[in-house]
Amino acid sequence: MKHIDVQPQPVLSFGRTFAIALRGVQYRLFRALVTVAVIAVAMAFLMNILSESLFKRVVAVAVRDEIRVSRQADHWIARLSVPQTAEEVIDDLAAAEPGTPASRELARFSGRDPAAIEQAGKQAAQAREYFRFFDDINYGRRRVLIGNAAGIGIFERLQDPEAQARFFESLGQMRAVRFIATPDGFRAFLASWPALREVVAAVREGQRQGIGQLHAKLDGRTVMAALADAEGAFGEAVRQAGFVLEPEEATSLAKQIRLSEHRHFIEDSLNVPEVRKAVAARKDVLPGDVSLDMIWGLLGHPDTAAWYRDLLAQHTSPPPGLDGDRLHEVARARGRSKLMVRAELITMGTGGGFMNIGPRMTWLAFVSMLVCTVGIANAMLMSVTERFREIATLKCLGALDGFIMTVFLIEAAILGLVGGVAGTLIGLVLGLGRMLAVFQSLLLELFPGGLLLQAAGISMVTGIALAAVAAAYPSLRAARLAPMEAMRIE
């Protein structure tokens, strides 16, 4: 019997294999460009929604913080004018962390020690959960359970044993309503409600006394005008009345009040006939056509802001510090405030879904990736069909199944990389252009470069991964092709 000596199969290096795959792409450049276009469109769509979602999330966080600070003046004017409602006090008790300024303020107004405030805070957190439950159920069931009671009136009504018994009886008959606590747990809360009610009433009484003490020191001013001195004597009076006003917050508050006063003065200046006529002459319009937007447009430029300051000095009595630079600063602050409000509306409801792009966009991206995968698989299957004789020749020359499959996968990865890079750049340009048009200078201030690079990396890797996954079956089919069967195909 003749001995057959089987030598080890030669294996090409990865570099040579990559070169063969790259040459195959070059020979079939048109089909490769079609596949690249499919990948690029899908990745452009993905990168566009990723970048827009990222921009919106970054802007949403910044806008919420800045708007909260900008509304600080309204918050303090309300606090120093009337006591909070019982429900508002309950919210503050539930949110106050032990040792924080809010907790100290509640303790001072109520005359309780910090431990009592902490205990009241736990009960207030329960009360807030019950408020949410009653707000969420429909009107008919709510009417059956608690009648017309609302807010703390619910707990007051259920202090009556008969009303409480009817509540639990009706609740037991409503199979579709899932109560957030056990009957015993809710009964325990209702038993502790009088103690919480006393704390809430004490806080409101303390606020009422503090507000009365402050109003005696207004000297004929409004609360808003007095808060312009939040950094000085009036700020100290606020602290003596029991309110916690931190120095940093007082500085920001006084700045906002002064800005608001200057803005109101500028808007009122339009009612001065001489000012209106001068602006009309400068803009070459009739005095009746002069609008506030026209005034703010003038103040948006330093030169015309200085001219308007001289005009105000001739015909009005500007408040101290309202020079040309200040007028320009007020105009810029007004423009930014309008931009913030618009950005808040646009970013409302941002988040959710895959990578926080939103549920709707998540499904659109999924469908886009699915279409892309089908397109790539179709192109690769057509490439396998066209290359039957080439595959058979390679196998006759000793190429193994693994080598054939590797070549096709590398070709797909190359196409995925090129398409992914092209699509990522296109999607990034489109997303950035659209968001710049919407958020303007705000986007440049908050530009998330690092996060954007991560999104670009995800998009490119997704393109390569989709190409590789889509090419898996065509590559396997090419690798398993019998040489003799392929050689017969014309």
Q: pTM for the whole thing?
A: 0.65
Same domain, 318 and 435: no
- Give the whole-angstrom CA distance, residue 246 versus residue 10: 78
Same domain, 371 and 467: yes
Domain edge (last residue) among 346, 368, 402: 346
Cβ within 8 Å of residue 27, ≥6 positions away: none
Q: What is the three-class DSSP state of 285?
A: coil
Same domain, 172 and 224: yes
Same domain, 40 and 92: no
Q: Decide if 72 is inside a domain.
A: no
- Give the whole-angstrom CA distance, residue 432 versus residue 58: 13
CA 416 to chain centre: 32
**Nearest alpha carbon to residue 273 among 310, 309, 327, 316:** 316
Q: Decide if 145 is inside a domain.
A: yes
User: Over its length of 490 residues, how does the chain's per-residue pLDDT go in tens digits?
Assistant: 566 665 666 666 777 777 877 777 777 777 778 788 888 888 888 888 888 888 888 887 777 777 777 778 888 888 888 899 999 999 999 998 888 888 988 999 988 888 899 999 999 999 999 999 988 888 888 888 888 888 899 999 999 999 899 988 888 888 878 888 888 999 999 999 999 999 999 999 999 999 998 888 888 888 888 888 888 888 888 888 888 888 888 888 888 888 888 888 888 888 888 988 998 888 888 888 888 888 888 888 888 888 988 888 888 888 888 888 888 888 888 888 888 878 777 777 666 555 566 677 777 777 777 877 787 777 777 777 777 677 777 777 777 777 778 887 888 888 888 888 998 899 889 888 888 888 887 777 778 888 788 888 888 888 888 888 887 777 777 777 676 665 665 5
Domain edge (last residue) among 244, 276, 291: 244
Q: Decide if 384 is inside a domain.
A: yes
Same domain, 186 and 290: no
Same domain, 105 and 206: yes
Same domain, 450 and 472: yes
R_g over Cα of the chain: 36
Q: Decide if 58 is inside a domain.
A: yes
Same domain, 97 and 238: yes
- Give the whole-angstrom CA distance, residue 463 versus residue 414: 10
- Give the whole-angstrom CA distance, residue 161 versus residue 164: 5
Q: Decide if 9 is inside a domain.
A: no
Q: Decide if 467 is inside a domain.
A: yes
Domain edge (last residue) among 244, 275, 307: 244
Same domain, 109 and 24: no
Q: What is the three-class DSSP state of 322?
A: coil
Left if phi > 0, otherwise alpha if psi is -120 to 50, otherwise beta: which for 97? beta
Same domain, 271 and 231: no
Same domain, 135 and 221: yes
Instruction: Determine the structural domain holding residue 373 and report its residue range.
Output: 14-67+355-488
Q: Total domain count for the chain?
A: 3
Q: Decide if 37 is inside a domain.
A: yes
Left if phi > 0, otherwise alpha if psi is -120 to 50, otherwise beta: which for 121? alpha
Tokens of 398: 């000793």
Give yes or no for a contact between 164 and 190, defined as CB atoms under 8 angstroms apart.
yes
Same domain, 233 and 362: no
Separate counts of helices (H) and strands (E) for the chain = 23, 0
End-to-end CA distance of the chain: give it in Å, rounded: 40
Q: Decide if 7 is inside a domain.
A: no
